[in-house]
Structure formats: structure tokens, C-alpha cells
């Protein structure tokens, strides 16, 4: 099992540009989570899906952020337009149920 796969590993973009982060969860996992990690705020849940359906997006900072899960094996997190304060490491995690989150290696986003 390759685990949770995220791409790209690193992304540097200019303010105002659109950024798309990608995640492939572990096969068979019903839950998918997007987290953001910064030194100041730690790990914050942005949104999570169950069976491809968004369940709770209350952590999404603002309308510039959107997430989709078109099928069980793929999810995207999009930021449009990006701002310097969006710079962080974004993690995707998946889980088969109530326990056992598996995190991906993250995407380090830098907005200049």
C-alpha cells in the first residue's frame, strides 16, 4: 500500500494565482480530511469528506478555498486567489472509520 499520496510536494506561487493541491487516499478508506499546518496555529482541520460527500467545511478559511472529491480515489483543494498568508503545509489524511488516520507527506505551499 502506497499510503496517502499528495502532490505536489512543494509549490511556490505568486499572490493572486490559483493553486490546486491533490490527494489520493488509501483505497477502501471512507473518510478523507484536509488539514493545514502552520507554526502559529498548528494542525487545523479544513474540511472532511465521507464517501465523497463533504461533511464539515467549517474550517475552510474563506471563500477563496474550495475542495472537491469527485470519486473515492481523488480529492483536490483549491485556493483562488492565493495570498501570502495561505503559506503553510497542507496535509491530506484518510481513514476507514472512527480511528486510524493516515496522513500523506503534505504539500508545502509558499505564496510570494
Partner 1 sequence: GESVGLHLPTLSVQEGDNSIINCAYSNSASDYFIWYKQESGKGPQFIIDIRSNMDKRQGQRVTVLLNKTVKHLSLQIAATQPGDSAVYFCAENMRGGSQGNLIFGKGTKLSVKP
What is the binding site for partner 1 (CB under 8 A)?
4, 31, 33, 42-43, 45, 48, 50, 55-56, 91, 93, 95, 97-106
Closest to partner 1 by CB, 71 vs 98, is 98
Which is it for the CA torsion 6, 31, 68, 27, positive or negative? positive
Rg (CA), the chain: 13
CB 64, min distance to partner 1, A = 21
CB 30, min distance to partner 1, A = 9
Which is it for the CA torsion 57, 20, 106, 37, positive or negative? negative
Closest to partner 1 by CB, 5 vs 76, is 5
Cβ atoms within 10 Å, residue 112: 10
Closest to partner 1 by CB, 69 vs 93, is 93
CB 105, min distance to partner 1, A = 5
Closest to partner 1 by CB, 82 vs 107, is 107
Amino acid at each position: 500500500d502506497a499510503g496517502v499520496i499528495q502532490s505536489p510536494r512543494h509549490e511556490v506561487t505568486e499572490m493572486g494565482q490559483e493553486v490546486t493541491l491533490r490527494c489520493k487516499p488509501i483505497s477502501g478508506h471512507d473518510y478523507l480530511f484536509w488539514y493545514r499546518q502552520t507554526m502559529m496555529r498548528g494542525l487545523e482541520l479544513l474540511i472532511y469528506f465521507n464517501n465523497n460527500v463533504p461533511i464539515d467545511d467549517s474550517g475552510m478559511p474563506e471563500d477563496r478555498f474550495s475542495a472537491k472529491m469527485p470519486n473515492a480515489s481523488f480529492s483536490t483543494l483549491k485556493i483562488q486567489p492565493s495570498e501570502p498568508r495561505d503559506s503553510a503545509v497542507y496535509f491530506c489524511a484518510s481513514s476507514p472509520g472512527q480511528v486510524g488516520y493516515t496522513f500523506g507527506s503534505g504539500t508545502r505551499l509558499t505564496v510570494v
